[in-house]
Structure formats: structure tokens, C-alpha cells
Amino acid sequence: FIRSFSSGSIQRSAIKNVTIIGGGLMGAGIAQVAASTGHNVVLVDQTKDILKKSHSSIEKSLQRVVKKQYAEDPKAGEAFMAKVLSQLCTETDPAAAVKSSDLVIEAIVENLEVKKKLFASLDKAAPKHTIFASNTSSIPIKEIAVATKRMDKFGGLHYFNPVPVMKLLEVIRIPETSDDTFNKLLAFGKAMGKVTVNCKDTPGFIVNRLLVPYMMEAVRMVERGEATPQDVDTAMKLGAGYPMGPFELTDYVGLDTCKFIIDGWHAKYPNNPLFDPSPLLNKYVAEGKLGNKVGEGFYKAKK
Ligand code: 3HC
């Protein structure tokens, strides 16, 4: 968040009321940053219990931001935090949540049928002007958009974890996305303090198309007995300047998420060796070692 702001590129956008569907790590992060940058945010998930957890993770993350940004003026920090939280409400009924929405961002489970079903119902409930966007990391935007009758108002907004820290936002257009919609999405990204890049609807867009095969090749190096995860991570941090090595990053993103992405691409493009599945990754996932979120992946998570 702080780093995002340092880009100095915050701009006004036509989008004021934002609905985020999905209160997981990404949805909560997007909701936090959208509310922090003056948008009215409704965060939606299936149960009040899930939303309670999302809200408390937002509060914790906001506290980190405020502690740093308002180190000299804790009172102003408290006021900022109260203002942000007042611009954020939660809802369990997606149809009710989109009634006055300018933009809906979907960040739910990576399942095409579930996403299509959601958007088909939102298409009926949302006003005509509402723009729809998916935060999918690996499903083609167009395959989701076909569930609606507003493909001209459909695009992708792909955020990076941790959303309050990572400066980038990939803005994806499909051939049907109108210039007006795309420009509004770009302006919204900038209004969130992000640096935007324009992406086509290709597998993994820009970042994941490069990052996921890189992470997979790191796993394959270990499978081939060429290096240990520790040495690969040290090498990439100190030799290439990455903030995390590929194994730390896989633990951070989630081994199940990486497996899901690579399995989906492999099924679609079986002849591309960059998308080959990895027995070692599959073994870890089968053992439930999904990464930091469960306390263990390639490494045991730090307390
Ligand atoms: N909320 C708010 N602030 C946070 C935060 C959070 N969840 N997580 C970290 N921060 C802040 C910290 O408070 C700290 O702030 P400061 O610099 O102002 O003091 C700053 O971020 C750095 O955090 P730490 O000191 O705890 O740790 P690091 O310096 O190691 O940074 C990191 C942590 C930012 C996660 C860094 O390691 C990093 O950039 N890692 C790579 C992350 C990455 O590649 N993400 C993309 C993954 S791919 C993806 O998301 C796409 C998906 O589709 C798969």
C-alpha cells in the first residue's frame, strides 16, 4: 500500500462503488486497498463467519500499513483506519451487493463453472453500467465472460499477493471489451495506486506466464537432484535479486494453487514442456503440504 502510493500516480476514476466477491486472501487484499483509496466497498462471501475472518485479516494488514505510514502521527493513523473501515461493508447475498455497484471484482475459487454461474446471476442483478472483472490467475477471461450478456463490459483485473504491497495490476481485455470499459479499468487501477500493464487474454497473462514455469523448473531441478531448495532459493535471491526464492514463493502462493495452474495449462497445451506437471509438487500437495497457509510446504512456515 505504502509502496503503491510511492508511485505518485493516483488518479480519479469513474468507479466509486466496488463489489468484491470472495473474502479469501486476494479478495480481502483487494477490498482493503480499494477502501483505502476512497472507494465504497462491499465484500461478499458465503457466510458471516468467513467474512469475519476476512475483516480481521484486513484490520491486521491495515494496522501494518498505518503503523508505518503514520509513525509520526498515530492519531491521524487511527482516523485513517476508521475511515477506511467505514467505507468497507460485508454482505452474503451477491445480488444485493451489486445493486449500486460500478465495478464487480470476482476473486472466488478457480473453477470455471462456479465463476460462470456467479457471473450469469450477477448479470441479471447488476445495473446496466456495471463493469465485471475477474481476478482469475489462470482461467481465460473470455471463457468466463460468455456467461454474461455484457461482454463489452467484461475484463480481467489480476492482482498480486500481498495486494497491499505489490505495486502491479494486470489489466486484461478480451476482443469484446470496449475501449470505454478498458479505459475505466485502467483508471480504476491507477486510482487504487497501482501501476497497470495492458494484457491480452493469454495463459497466465504476463507475470504468471513467466513466473509459474520458472517455479516449476526450480522444482524439476530438485527432482533431478541438481540442487537443494535452500540452495536454489539462496541463488535466486542473491544472484538474481529476487525478494524470495522460487521455493519460498511457491510456499507463499500455495503449492495447490501452483498445481492447479500448471494442471490446467497442461490439459490445454499437453505438448508444451514448460507446462509439464511435477511428481514432486504433486506428492507434496497429496500430503497436504500446501505451503505457508497450512504451516508447511517445501519449508516449515516460520512462526
Ligand atoms: N499487508 C500489509 N503490509 C504488508 C503485508 C500485508 N499482508 N505483507 C508485507 N507487508 C509489508 C510489511 O509491513 C513491510 O512494510 P515496510 O517495508 O514498509 O516496513 C513490507 O511489506 C515488507 O515486508 P516484510 O518486512 O515482512 O518482508 P519482506 O521485506 O521479505 O517482504 C514481501 C515481503 C513483500 C512479500 C516480499 O518478500 C516479496 O515481494 N515477495 C515476492 C512476492 C511475490 O512475488 N508475489 C507475487 C506472487 S504471484 C501472485 O500473487 C499471482 C497469483 O495469481 C498466483
What is the Cα–Cα distance from 1 to 65, expressed in whole angstroms? 7
The residue whose C-alpha atom lies closest to atom 20 belonging to ligand 1 is 165
Residue range 155-163: mean pLDDT, rounded: 97
User: For every residue of the chain, which 3-state class applies, written as one string?
Assistant: CHHHHCCCCCCCCCCCEEEEECCCHHHHHHHHHHHHCCCEEEEECCCHHHHHHHHHHHHHHHHHHHHHHCCCCHHHHHHHHHHHHHCEEEECCHHHHCCCCCEEEECCCCCHHHHHHHHHHHHHHCCCCCEEEECCCCCCHHHHHCCCCCHHHEEEEECCCCCCCCCEEEEEECCCCCHHHHHHHHHHHHHCCCEEEEEECCCCCCHHHHHHHHHHHHHHHHHCCCCCHHHHHHHHHHHHCCCCCHHHHHHHHCHHHHHHHHHHHHHHCCCCHHHCCCHHHHHHHHCCCCEHHHCECCCECCC
What is the Cα–Cα distance from 14 to 268, expressed in whole angstroms? 37
State the pLDDT at residue 12.
59
Domain topology for 2-200: Rossmann fold (3.40.50)
pLDDT tens string 87-146: 999 999 999 999 999 999 999 999 999 999 999 999 999 999 999 999 999 999 999 999
pLDDT surpasses 80 at 78: yes
Instruction: State which of 109, 165, 212 you would mutate to test the pocket of ligand 1, scoring each by most atoms of that ligand within 8 A of its C-beta.
Output: 165
pLDDT surpasses 50 at 5: no
Residues of the chain with CATH 1.10.1040.10: 209-294
| Distance (Å) of CA 238 to CA 180, 208, 210 | 44, 22, 20
State the pLDDT at residue 277.
96
88, β-bridge pairs = 41
Q: Among the atoms of ligand 1, which is closest to the Cα of residue 62?
A: 2
pLDDT surpasses 70 at 303: no
pLDDT tens string 184-243: 999 999 999 999 999 999 999 999 999 999 999 999 999 999 999 999 999 999 999 999
State the pLDDT at residue 286.
98
Domain topology for 209-294: N-(1-d-carboxylethyl)-l-norvaline Dehydrogenase; domain 2 (1.10.1040)
State the pLDDT at residue 302.
75
Residues of the chain with CATH 3.40.50.720: 2-200
pLDDT tens string 9-45: 455 579 999 999 999 999 999 999 999 999 999 999 9
pLDDT tens string 229-254: 999 999 999 999 999 999 999 999 99
Q: Among the atoms of ligand 1, which is closest to the Cα of residue 161?
A: 50
Binding residues: 22-27, 45, 61, 68, 110, 115, 137, 161, 293
The residue whose C-alpha atom lies closest to atom 48 belonging to ligand 1 is 160
The residue whose C-alpha atom lies closest to atom 27 belonging to ligand 1 is 243
Active site residues: 137, 158, 170, 208
- What is the residue-averaged pLDDT of the chain? 95
The residue whose C-alpha atom lies closest to atom 4 belonging to ligand 1 is 165
What is the Cα–Cα distance from 45 to 91, expressed in whole angstroms? 7
What is the Cα–Cα distance from 241 to 220, expressed in whole angstroms? 21
- pTM for the predicted model, two decimal places: 0.94
What are the pocket residues of ligand 1 if the criterion is a CB atom closer than 6 Å to any ligand atom?
2, 61, 64-65, 68, 137, 160-162, 164-166, 208, 211, 243-244, 249, 253, 257
Q: CB neighbours of 237 closer than 8 A, spacing ≥ 6?
A: 243, 244, 245
pLDDT surpasses 60 at 301: yes
State the pLDDT at residue 11.
54
Q: CB neighbours of 292 closer than 8 A, spacing ≥ 6?
A: 251, 252, 254, 301
Q: Return the closest-CA partner of residue 27 out of 141, 136, 173.
A: 136
State the pLDDT at residue 13.
74
pLDDT surpasses 60 at 2: no
